[in-house]
Homo-oligomer: A and B are copies of this chain.
Amino acid sequence: MSAGWFRRRFLPGGPGGPLPAAPRSPRPRASPVPYRRPRFLRGSASGPAAPDGPRRPDARPVRCPARGRALPWNAGYAEIINAEKSEFNEDQAACGKLSIRRCEFGPEEDQEWLTLCPEEFLTGHYWALFDGHGGPAAAILAANTLHSCLRRQLEAIGEGMVATPPPMHLSGRCVCPSDPQFVEEKGIRTEDLVIGALESAFQECDEVIRRELEASGQVGGCTALVAVSLKGKLYVANAGDSRAILVRRDEVQPLSSEFTPETERQRIQQLAFVYPELLADEFTRLEFPRRLKGDDLGQKVLFRDYYMNGWSYKCVEKSDLKYPLIHGQGRQARLLGTLAVSRGLGDHQLRVLDTNIHLKPFLLSVPQVTVLDLDQLELQEEDVVVMATDGLWDVLSNEQVAQLVRSFLPGNREDPHRFSELAKMLIHSTQAKDGSPTTEGQMSYDDVSVFVIPLYSQSQGSSGH
């Protein structure tokens, strides 16, 4: 995710602040630059990494140069490239085994319902990509924290996840005999609890980032794309403009939607309608095809407001000449002239250049979660999920990525590292100078991170018990 020039100019430097962005290189390094591997990953080349228990991130996030390597973990392969937009890598990744410990019910009288017991009773896998802006601080914190938040959320509802449908009361008590019927009528399933846990974990992590960055005097934000494999289902939670797709022999299926000022126009405009003070009289919430100027005054021009999917004409008044709340088209669209995404973590300090207008009220940390039932899929060995930051999708379409996957995997069946090699190959496809037939000569000037997750192993009992 790239923040606009407007925003980069705004960000304060100075002690404790992020380093200023390096001049944008006309072309990123041709060979992938390693990234910093999050500390919770303890995997070896031969097996999944095991995260340690839930813990808070260090009080001060450690800034790290862009070093790292492809993750040598057999349940997902990552590759990250630093486009030299900044000295420190703004893309961060994390993956590992998710071990959820049993929660037992304590005595009722002191209302301590949950007592953690040491043994695991559910295991899953976790992959996450964070695309930072305004420095890598938020992305590093998210890579170090979000899995812990998620595990905590899942452990808090653990007993609810093993009953079908989930019980009305977590304590196991039944206040009303028809409670199971009420739950069933609402259609509440186990997967709704995992979705709820992901939604809450994103919010908890956002709060951790706010606290930690405030304490260390740092700034910044990041997008977050997370995949979790648990009990035969794959959950994909997205807040930002990264993307995950499912690639099978005859099918390409998007597993996430992008959240940008354009895709969330109505939500953002409506917030400005409800709280006009958020715009401090500096912006107009209305959308026009371009920014209006004095010559437009009094004319009827195309516009739309928060409640409109269609367009209409309005007579231009002076207040319509203000800078638009959402301005620009496609990749150039910016929220308050500043930010290219409308969901993500962090950015609590972010303000519009030279004003006291905060971006955060318009930014949501809530992800959208989609669920893939792996047990229903009749998976083949070469069915994969490709997760990547926007650097990849700026240059390659879903179909192009699927073609690359389908042409690469069958020819490399004997290679034990073929999924890792595929991730590398996808990244190299965004760097081709001469323009391969696939990329049509387009190149990515952004950081690019890719996870390739082979689904077959996930459906073969490795995704929880």
Q: Is the interface of A mostly helix, strand, loop or mixed?
A: mixed
Interface mask (A321-346 → B, CB under 8 Å = 1, otherwise 0): 00000000110000000000000000
Most buried by B among A166, A182, A296, A300: A300
User: Nearest CB to that of A166 among chain B residues?
Assistant: B302
Q: A170-B300, A299-B173 are in contact. Are A310 and B198 (CB under 8 A)?
A: yes
**Which residues of A from 339 to 374 have beta carbons under 8 Å from B?**
364, 366, 368-369
**Interface status of A460 (Cβ within 8 A of chain B):** no
Residues of B within 8 A of A156 (CB): 313
Min C-beta distance of A77 to chain B, whole Å: 29
Contacts of A393 in B (CB 8 A): none
Question: Residues on A close to B: CB < 8 A?
Answer: 111, 113, 153, 156-157, 160, 166, 168-171, 173, 175-176, 178-179, 182-183, 185-186, 188, 191-200, 203, 274, 289-290, 293, 295-296, 298-302, 304, 307-313, 315, 329-330, 364, 366, 368-369
8 further contact pairs, Cβ within 8 A, besides A168-B289, A186-B289: A153-B312, A168-B290, A175-B299, A182-B289, A196-B308, A198-B310, A307-B366, A310-B369
Name 22 A/B residue pairs within 8 A (Cβ), A-sorted. A153-B312, A156-B313, A157-B313, A166-B311, A168-B289, A168-B290, A169-B300, A170-B299, A170-B313, A171-B300, A176-B290, A183-B302, A185-B289, A185-B329, A188-B302, A191-B310, A192-B309, A192-B310, A195-B311, A197-B312, A274-B274, A309-B369
